[in-house]
Amino acid sequence: MSTIKDVARQAGVSTMTVSRVINNTGYIRSETRARVEQAIAELGYLPNALARSLRFKQTKTIALVLTDIKNPFFTTLARGVEDAAGAQGFSVLFCNTDESEAAEGAHLSILVQKQVDGVLLVPASSESRAIPLLRAHGVPVVALDRRVHDPSVDTVRGDSEGGAYELVRHLIGLGHRRIAVLTSAHNVSTATDRVAGYRRALSEAGIAVDPRLICSDDFSTEGGFRSTQQLLALHPRPTAIFGGNNFIAFGAFRAMREAGLQVPDDCSLVTFDDLPESWLMLPFLTTVNQPAYAIGQQATELLLDRLEGRGGPAARMIVLPGELIVRRSSAPPPA
Amino acid sequence: MSTIKDVARQAGVSTMTVSRVINNTGYIRSETRARVEQAIAELGYLPNALARSLRFKQTKTIALVLTDIKNPFFTTLARGVEDAAGAQGFSVLFCNTDESEAAEGAHLSILVQKQVDGVLLVPASSESRAIPLLRAHGVPVVALDRRVHDPSVDTVRGDSEGGAYELVRHLIGLGHRRIAVLTSAHNVSTATDRVAGYRRALSEAGIAVDPRLICSDDFSTEGGFRSTQQLLALHPRPTAIFGGNNFIAFGAFRAMREAGLQVPDDCSLVTFDDLPESWLMLPFLTTVNQPAYAIGQQATELLLDRLEGRGGPAARMIVLPGELIVRRSSAPPPA
DNA sequence: CTGTTAGCGCCTTCAT
DNA sequence: ATGAAGGCGCTAACAG
């Protein structure tokens, strides 16, 4: 409410003197400083960060643009971001895109206008138009969770290809040969990489890829539900399903239950990113868990490094491994 | 990167003319407008929202201050906030307090400095110092999920007292008489209201309150774990436990399992806010679910109404009912 | 229909 | 050790 002028008047000094007290800069007689500090306290003065940012060309604010905060993977990632940002005095603006490039573009335009110092982006597409926009406006960006085609973009992500490979190898080891994968139809690297890992595991085992067993829909429960309904209509049915993410797996499970099928007796089910272990009364899904918190944290630290000019010119690609957790949802195929 | 001056120069007009084009205000010859628009496109100009906000005294940004985004209740609530805010062109800054009043205060000071137009606050305490701070700086606030003592604060929350009453009545109906409640030691209304509902249900059934069965710790899995360990040492043990929130219940479940006890055979377990139904392979916990999304959405709409001067002077208290969902974790007490 | 002046709140620069 | 002038990018109010 009150401005630096009010404080100056109250303390009987110039605004510059107040500014010096606030910023602890230059020389000030201790009596003067005391008077100013008293005036600040009396008025409950807080400096206007807008005005400071206008001068400094720094807002101490970054943006986190992700697809859906309701996915616990992104929730945990977001928490990693906020903790790392807060530790260095940065605030976080967050936006959901729901995988829509249009929404992504709209959000980013606003973020550029708001002069965020940098952007953490879970790109809605591998060739997100967001990247050139940010570059044109000199806003540093780090891609999270997903690669983009532009090789000059810093990226922090989990190892989707390797995780998918492990998961499918696990199924093959149990004796499965008709393994389906449910993935996203969007052009995102987590989708393509997971299918790539799936293919590698199959090919290594000498199993031919059946294109009908690769279903592309949404990274959502509805997507997993629809894809699974299609799969269950096949003859013979797959004996195992790899859900490309947690939501897909939840939808797949529901579709199987509604079809009267038991997991894993009739069909196994594995996935990426189940729920946090501590939430689960009866851990069930075999999964590869990615270090979501660390991804958010390390991406933030990388971004803040860039803002300070640290970290060198070359783009960095940090790939964090996942962890295979075998649980009850995967078993040998039915006889 | 480029400013209004650059556009003006490029188009051969004054900055005022550019400003008029941007804001669609006043009269402009259509040729002039076209020239300006072309210049804007050529330069990829985007107005600096900092400068505009400094003039307008409006940032089109609100803050969401909650305890922990990782709790799926708050995640869903946050999504409701973001959707409602985005629909009206507002961005959302978010902060986690982890129930710490100190962290809350630090965040709010920064938010005031950043000139957010309003704050959505899940107060860390019923007498949060945040409220007077915000009032002193003329920042509208809406309390979410929890009441504060100050009656002049708009509030949107679930019905904790009523939900707890239903839950405990359900247990009593099953035949339980030694029912424990695990709550938070923090001075927050969700804790006190849930205990109040618990007491009302007991007293209505003529069951005396045993103070040893009311455990105060954290709203966390660790809190629930610790409290439950204490309870299990009692003779006789409680036959049912009411976990004050989802995390507490997860911790309680773990403590029981580690003690070799079966839920619900040896002890029933009920809670507020289990996980979203679609995530659960095997829905297990009997729970009262609160409409988290609606709480976030309605709180945001209330706040934005206030910003526009709508809604009248009287404080509003919106209480949304929860829904009792009976599942497998509650059963009659052991014989 | 368009331009000039002034100021939002703050801080850098240069005096004193 | 302190103050005065000027400007960050933008727009309201007033000219013309």
pLDDT per residue as tens digits for the range B200-240: 999 999 999 999 999 999 999 999 999 999 999 999 999 99
Alpha-carbon distance of B80 to B97, in angstroms, equals 19
- Using 50, 70 and 90 to split pLDDT, how confident is the model at A100? very high
Q: Does A82 touch chain B (CB under 8 A)?
A: yes
Q: Share the mean pLDDT of chain B.
A: 96
pLDDT per residue as tens digits for the range A171-183: 999 999 999 999 9
**Which tokens in the block code for residue B35?**
């020239």
The answer to whether the CB of A21 falls within 8 A of the CB of A35 is no
Q: Does A282 touch chain B (CB under 8 A)?
A: yes
When pLDDT is averaged across residues B179-199 and rounded to a whole number, the result is 97
Alpha-carbon distance of A263 to A328, in angstroms, equals 8
Residue A264 φ then ψ, to 5°: -95, 5
Alpha-carbon distance of B52 to B37, in angstroms, equals 19
Instruction: Tell me how far apart the terminal alpha carbons of chain B are, to the nearest angstrom.
Output: 75
Alpha-carbon distance of A297 to A301, in angstroms, equals 6
A168, pLDDT greater than 90: yes
Alpha-carbon distance of B159 to A208, in angstroms, equals 56
DSSP 8-state secondary structure symbol assigned to residue B69: T
Q: Quick one: how far is CA B107 from the chain centroid?
A: 16
- Using 50, 70 and 90 to split pLDDT, how confident is the model at A138? very high
Give the model's pLDDT for residue B16: 93
Instruction: Tell me how far apart the terminal alpha carbons of chain A are, to the nearest angstrom.
Output: 75
In chain C, which nucleotides are within 7 Å of a protein Cβ? 1-5, 7-13
Instruction: State the sign of the Cα–Cα–Cα–Cα dihedral A182, A188, A192, A193.
Output: negative
- Where is pLDDT greater, at A282 or A157? A157
- Using 50, 70 and 90 to split pLDDT, how confident is the model at B103? very high
pLDDT per residue as tens digits for the range B23-34: 988 888 988 999
Judge whether residue B29 contacts strand C, using its CB and a 7 Å cut-off.
yes
When pLDDT is averaged across residues B155-162 and rounded to a whole number, the result is 98
Alpha-carbon distance of B134 to B127, in angstroms, equals 13
The count of other CB atoms within 10 Å of the CB of residue A195 is 22
pLDDT per residue as tens digits for the range A30-42: 889 999 999 999 9
Q: Is B14 helix (H, G, I), strand (E, B) or coil?
A: coil
**Which tokens in the block code for residue A219?**
């990274």
When pLDDT is averaged across residues A257-272 and rounded to a whole number, the result is 97
pLDDT per residue as tens digits for the range A188-244: 999 999 999 999 999 999 999 999 999 999 999 999 999 999 999 999 999 999 999
Alpha-carbon distance of B224 to B316, in angstroms, equals 33
Give the model's pLDDT for residue A28: 87
Q: Does B221 touch chain A (CB under 8 A)?
A: yes
Amino acid at A52: R
Q: Which of A53, A96, A253 sits opposite B79 (nearest CB)?
A: A96
Give the model's pLDDT for residue A1: 77
Best of B91, B104, B109, B116 to disrupt the A interface (most A CBs within 10 Å) is B91
In chain D, which nucleotides are within 7 Å of a protein Cβ? 1-5, 7-13
CA distance A172 to chain B (A): 24
Alpha-carbon distance of A63 to B299, in angstroms, equals 23
Q: Quick one: how far is CA A232 from the chain centroid?
A: 32
Q: Which of A47-51, A95-99, B29-33, B141-145 bottoms out in mean pLDDT, i.e. has the lowest?
A: B29-33
Smallest CA-to-CA distance from B299 within B65, B114, B113 is with B65
Alpha-carbon distance of B157 to B218, in angstroms, equals 20
Give the model's pLDDT for residue B214: 98
